[in-house]
Amino acid sequence: MKQTIKYAFIDVDGVLSAPAYLDETTNELAIGFSDEGWGRYLEEEGAYSYRYCAPVPQMKTFLEKIKEDGTMVFVLSSVMNETEKQAKILFLDHHYPELFREYFFVKKDLDKVRFMKKFAELNHCDISELLFIDDTYDLLLKARSEGVTCAHIANVLADNITK
């Protein structure tokens, strides 16, 4: 990243959280469910839906470094409902205490791009001063087309992000 990054927005699923959920039909850990299956899982597990998920140490190290360098770090994640939101907050508070300035949640992934555009406008900064880290290429490409500085989680894991 050649330009100054003032704000970083980080997704949860597949970025801050390595997915693992107990599939009670097989009694094995699964990496995810269909939307319908995820809805049932949330109903059954509630705020503890992320209890088998693991934090991503390389992300934590990277985010601590950019925060130390002056970047404000936020979570920006989509949620199906209030239960999923509470489950993500419980996971984040447990594994990433005091790392994030604030948690932002949207209904759909594409809402993330609209949110960042509005955030840049309200904070009177150039949209390129926002860093967005996600694991969904289409979403990263859409954000990039709007001027957001983007990185795939793989870039962080490979230590392939430079300032």
* CATH code where residue 103 lies: 3.40.50.1000
In a domain, 66, yes or no: yes
**Is residue 10 within 8 Å of 149, Cβ to Cβ?**
no
For residues 26-36, give the mean pLDDT: 89
Q: Are residues 66 and 80 in the same domain?
A: yes
Q: What is the DSSP letter of 148?
A: -
Q: 106 versus 1: which is more confidently predicted?
A: 106
Tally of structural domains, the chain: 2
Q: Is residue 42 part of a domain?
A: yes
Residue 17 CB burial class (10 angstroms; 0-12, 13-18, ≥19) = buried
Please check whether residues 78 and 38 belong to one and the same domain. Answer: no
Band (pLDDT 50/70/90 cuts) for residue 163 is: very low
Q: Is residue 163 part of a domain?
A: no
Q: What is the arithmetic mean of pLDDT over 13-18?
A: 96
Residues 30 and 89 in one domain: no
What confidence tens digit (pLDDT) does each residue in 37-85 have?
Answer: 899 999 999 999 999 999 999 999 999 999 999 999 999 999 999 999 9
pLDDT, mean of residues 25-32: 89
- Contact between 8 and 131 under an 8 Å Cβ cutoff? The reply is yes
Q: Are residues 144 and 66 in the same domain?
A: yes
Q: Tell me, yes or no, whether 12 and 25 share the same domain.
A: no
Which run of H or of E encompasses 21?
A: strand 21-23
Residue 45 neighbours by CB under 8 Å, 6+ apart: 21, 22, 51, 87
Of the pLDDT bands very low, low, confident and very high (cuts 50, 70, 90), residue 162 is: low
Burial of 49 (0-12, 13-18, 19+ CB in 10 A): buried
